[in-house]
Amino acid sequence: MSFNEKELYQNFKKLIEDLKTKEEKPKLLLHACCAPCSSACIERICEAFDVTIFYSNDNIQPLDEYNLRLKTMEEFLALHHPNIKAVHDTYCSSDYDDAIKGHEHDGERTYRCYLCYKLRLKKTALWALEHNFDYFSTTLSISPYKVSKWINEIGFELENEIGIKYLYSDFKKENGYKRSIELSCEYGLYRQDYCGCKYSKEERKKAIDARRNKENDN
C-alpha cells in the first residue's frame, strides 16, 4: 500500500484540532506497549478523543516484565489521567511465537517486527469493533526503533478488512519521542531497555557486550 505520509500527518493534526472543539468525542481504543510511550501520545490526543488504553502485548517476555509494564501503565493512568480507563488482553505468548515463526532471528526492524505489529494491531481492531469504538490506533509509532510506515500500512489494511476506522499516527514527529522521555523522567516511570520480545533482549545484550569489548580493546 502506498500513501502520502506528509498529507496523512497534516490530516491527523487537523482532525485533532477539529475534534477538540466538539463536545462529544469519538471513542478511541489506543493500543499501548508501555507507560513511557503512552505518556506523550495521550498528551497529544486526549482533548480530541475519549481514549481507552488497550494493553495487548503477547511479545513481551518474560511474564514478570509484561506484568511490570502493565502495573506501571495502570499506576501512571491512575495518577495522571484518572479519566482514562485501561483494559488488558489475555496474555498469550504462544500467539506471538506462532505469528513470527520462521523469523525469530531476523533482527530489529525486520519482517519479524512487521508480524509483531500486525498481531497486536489486529487484536486491537477486533476488540475495538466488538466494544463499539469509533477508532483504533497504537502508541508504537512514537519509538524511533519502530517502522511507522509499516504500522500505518497495517492499520489501514485492518480498517478495510475489519470495518473500523484507523487513526493514522506518527507520534515521534515534532519531538514526540523526546517528550516521552521528558514525561517519563518527570513522573518517575519505569522505562525498559529493550523492545519486549526475548529476541530483542538478547540482541540488546549482544550489542552492549560488543560495545564494551570494543572500548576495552581501545
pLDDT tier for residue 23 given thresholds of 50, 70 and 90: very high
Mean pLDDT of 97-101: 98
In one-letter notation, the amino acid at residue 213 is N
Q: CA–CA separation, 186 vs 196, rounded Å?
A: 23
Please state the length of the chain: 218
Give the three-state DSSP class for 25. Answer: coil
Whether the predicted model's global pTM rises above the 0.85 cut:
yes
Q: CA–CA separation, 130 vs 127, rounded Å?
A: 5
What 8-state DSSP symbol labels residue 76?
H
Burial of 17 (0-12, 13-18, 19+ CB in 10 A): exposed
What 8-state DSSP symbol labels residue 23?
S
Q: What's the fold here for domain 5-193?
A: Rossmann fold (3.40.50)
Mean pLDDT of 171-192: 97
